[in-house]
Structure 1
Amino acid sequence: MPVKPSVVIVNGSPRSRSRTGALLNALANEIARVRDVDVQSVSIAEIGNHFGTEFDPALLAPELQRAIHAIENADLILAGSPIYRASYSGLFKHLFDLVDRDALKGTPVLLAATGGTPLHGLALDTQFRALFAFFQALTLPQSVYALDVDFNDGRLINDDLSQRVRSAAELAAAHLESNRGYREASNNVSRAPVAPAPVL
């Protein structure tokens, strides 16, 4: 039986119930509607208390190790955060500080964010894309930004937003198969040893 493509939600909200989580879940549900996928979720609200104690991956808490392993082996990442002070949450960034710098090469990443003003949507291009460019990930050209007023009791209530979610999800689903082929080819190529990253 073929293995289902892995879709990993990375939710940068520090709240267990959040608009960011609702948006990311809506994207994942739309992808699952058109493709048979295995969806996993990494939530800062659940693992955030394990940050800041270690930087050696082998010494991290098991919850963090599992989260990092899921991200590094994803066929598609749904990365989202509420916007604070024109950027993603600090723990969202800290999580990716712990991800291997070569693990996400070519991995498609669908970006999403929530905020209180339309101007915060610029962070998707100025902050999120720059972060994943470092990893040489493939940030999809269509991202999704939602305002606080687009939700009611954790549900999307804006029809235009729902359409953008469907469109972005269809685009993301189309990249799944090509990424799996890329990762398999990359794994078969021998690599020269990489010097360890400097300790900051």
Structure 2
Amino acid sequence: MTRPLRLVAVSGGLQRPSKAAALCEHLMDLIADEVLCEPRLVELGQLAPQLAGAVWRSQLPDTVERELAAVEQADILVVATPVYRGSYTGLFKHFFDFIGQDALVDKPVLLAATGGSERHALMIDHQLRPLFSFFQARTLPLGVYATDKDFTGYRLQDAALIERASLAVQRALPLIQLTRQAGLAAAEEALMA
């Protein structure tokens, strides 16, 4: 039997509920509809007090270490952050500063962001994509950007955005399948060794 893929979403939202977390959950649900996976949502707003003041990973409490390990061990990542002053939040960057430099190599990452208006939509390509390129992750071709008007409460309601999210996941599936095949081949190789 094939093990479920570890699907981890990181929401850079600072409060709960958060539109970034709602976008993460929507994207995770779309992936889970297509691929057997174990979804996990990491909400950075909930970790903020434990991240504050830490300069080295060794200074972090176990609760944060578990979330960092989950991201590093994920088969697929979904990341979403609110846009703050034209970029991701400082908390989002601070969290990823603790991720091992080689931990995300070749990992598929679906990029997403939320903002007050359309004018920050390119933040995905100008801020998030370079960050994950540093990690040598495989950022997926389509990012998903949502504005406040795309939500009713904390649920996506805009038909065009819902369609784009679905298209982003559909275009990601071939890479996700390659990830699954690579994981199966590695597991088989380990058994034979």
TM-score after normalising by structure 1: 0.88
Match status 1:74 vs 2:67: no
- Shift in CA distance, 92/183, structure 1 to aligned 2, threshold 3 Å: farther
Deviations 1:129-166 (A, max 9, x none): 11001000000110100110011111111111111111
State the AA in 2 paired with 1:24.
C
- Matching of residues 30-49 of structure 1 within 5 Å: 30-49=30-49
Q: CA RMSD in A?
A: 1.8
* CA-to-aligned-CA distance 1:2-21 (integer Å, 9 cap, x gap): 21111100000101101111
Aligned to 2:65: 65
- Taking the aligned partners of 1:20 and 1:109, their CA distance within structure 2 comes to 15
Match of 2:156 in 1: 156
Q: What residue ranges of structure 1 are gaps of 5+ in the alignment?
A: 189-200
Task: Report if the CA contact (8 A) 1:28-1:169 is conserved.
Answer: no
Q: 1:57 Cα deviation (Å)?
A: 2.7
Unaligned runs of 5+ in 2: none
1: CA distance, partners of 2:183 / 2:96: 20
Aligned to 2:117: 117
Which one has the bigger helix percentage?
A: 2
- Within a 5 Å distance, the mapping from 1:83-162 to structure 2 comes to 83-162=83-162
Q: Are 2:15 and 1:4 equivalent residues in the alignment? A: no
Question: Which aligned runs of 4 or more in structure 1 are off by greater than 6 angstroms?
Answer: 184-188
- Which whole-Å CA distance do the structure 2 matches of 1:36 and 1:182 have between them? 16
Contact 1:5 1:176 in 2 (8 A): no
> Kindly tell me: are residues 76 and 95 of structure 1, through their superposed partners in 2, closer, same or farther at Cα, counting changes over 3 Å?
same
Is 1:20 equivalent to 2:20 in the alignment?
yes
Residues in 2 aligned to 1:33 and 1:156: alpha-carbon distance in whole angstroms? 17
Give the counterpart letter for 1:99 in structure 2: I
- Superposition TM-score, scaled by structure 2 size: 0.91
Give the letter for the 1:98 counterpart.
Answer: F
Tell me: CA distance 1:179–1:55, structure 2 relative to 1, closer, same or farther (3 Å).
farther
Kept in 1: contact 2:25–2:41 (CA 8 A): no
Distance 1:104 1:183, change over 3 A: farther
Structure-2 separation of matches of 1:102 and 1:72: 9
Q: How many residues align?
A: 188
* Distance in structure 1 (CA, Å) of the matches to 2:165 and 2:180: 23
Q: Following the alignment from structure 2 to structure 1, what is the Cα–Cα distance between the partners of residues 19 and 74? A: 23
Determine helix, strand or coil for the equivalent of 2:17.
coil
Shift of 1:27: 0.7
Alignment partner of 1:131: what SS?
Answer: helix
Secondary structure of the 1:6 match is strand
% identical equivalent positions: 37
